[in-house]
Amino acid sequence: MLKNKLWIGIILSILLLVFSIPGFTAYYKYTQESGTNFYVGTDDKSDALEDTNEIRQILDDLGNLLGHSKRDDLYPKNGTTGGYLGRLNYGLDASKPAVPVINDLYLATDTVKIYRCFVAENWVQVYPGTIENNVIKTGDFIAGRIAKINNATGIIEMATNTDAQVSDAVTKAHAKNADTFLVFTNALSSDHTYSGEVDSQPVGENVVFGDLLYKDWAAGEWKKAKADAYATARATRIALESKADGQTCLMLVKGYIRDDSAFDFGAVPIFLNDDTAGTCDDTAPAESGDQIFMVGEAKSADILFFNPGQDVGEI
């Protein structure tokens, strides 16, 4: 009995000695299956036959086999004709690999973004937004500029507005039921300026800035008004630009207008002139048959508050 125990001890010692030698560690056995539903390449088989049974290596090998396996209707196929168990990486957004491999996934831990590589060496942000409609920006933006979306590319671009324009637009913001009044600027600082309600209509003759106009109903056009006849006396517009016969002209409906060369007021109110068409004066017409039509009040010698009435009185 003692002899048998001695032999068993010797055999166990030899086995322990063999398994303790590097390179002779036991490994798990890999057998390539056959059939149409399973396929692995030579590289996969060689990797599986490595001479170590460390848990890390076993998990790596199983992951590689699963990634390259082709099991119809169960597991993805090959990354081209079906889904693929891609490599999922995570970390800071700025730390994602610069040269990704097709099917790589990257989850940013410092943002809500998720990226995938569809084309070698190129990340595509798949969240937030869809791949097709993902909106991105191009170039560096300048503070204060308005952003615009390029309809053809879907890319956000910087608009060409200036900081002053943005500030001006914000200043003119209008709140419903709070800013419903309109303030006309009455301190016009330079010649040929205006402030108020405007209109655009066709003219029936050549006109210049400051001409008072009446509506010729038969022709459907505006012409220079004159107080020597009732038909031409209702001057309810003032030309704000020079236009030729048949052209559309910007006109003042109500508000302030400055004309240093045409206006020379010394009193109020201001009346349509009966001598020169398109002009006004602080003296009312006085000849028989002339029409009395008040067009507004003088704010200064060269600024008129244009506020035409509706009544016409004949002398």
Span 71-91, average pLDDT: 53
Q: Quote the pTM value.
A: 0.48
> 105-124: per-residue pLDDT in tens?
888 888 888 888 888 888 88
C-alpha R_g of the chain: 45
Among residues 232, 227, 245, the alpha carbon closest in space to that of 283 is found at 227
Kindly report, residue by residue over 63-72, the tens digit of the pLDDT. 555 544 444 4
104, 97 contact by CB (below 8 A): yes
Q: What is the pLDDT of residue 243?
A: 97
The CA-based angle 134-139-142, given to 5 degrees, is: 115
If we measure between CA atoms, which residue out of 182, 194, 178 comes closest to residue 251? 194
Average pLDDT over residues 75-96: 64
What are 280's strand-pairing partners?
A: 272
**What is the distance between the terminal CA atoms of the chain, rounded to a whole angstrom?**
154
What is residue 299's predicted lDDT score, i.e. its pLDDT? Answer: 94
pLDDT digits over 154-167, tens only? 677 777 766 666 66
Domain residues of the chain, as ranges? 25-77, 88-127, 135-167, 193-314
Distance CA 129, CA 281 (A): 67
pLDDT digits (tens, 9 = 90+) for 227-257: 999 999 999 999 999 999 999 999 999 999 9
Better-scored residue on pLDDT, 57 or 79: 57
Ordered alpha helix ranges (H), 205-284: none
Q: What is the pLDDT of residue 78?
A: 47
pLDDT digits (tens, 9 = 90+) for 173-201: 666 666 667 788 888 999 999 999 999 99
Half-sphere exposure of 210 (CA within 13 A, CB side): 17
Residue 28 has pLDDT above 50, yes or no: no
Pick the range with the lowest mean pLDDT from 56-60, 106-110, 271-275: 56-60
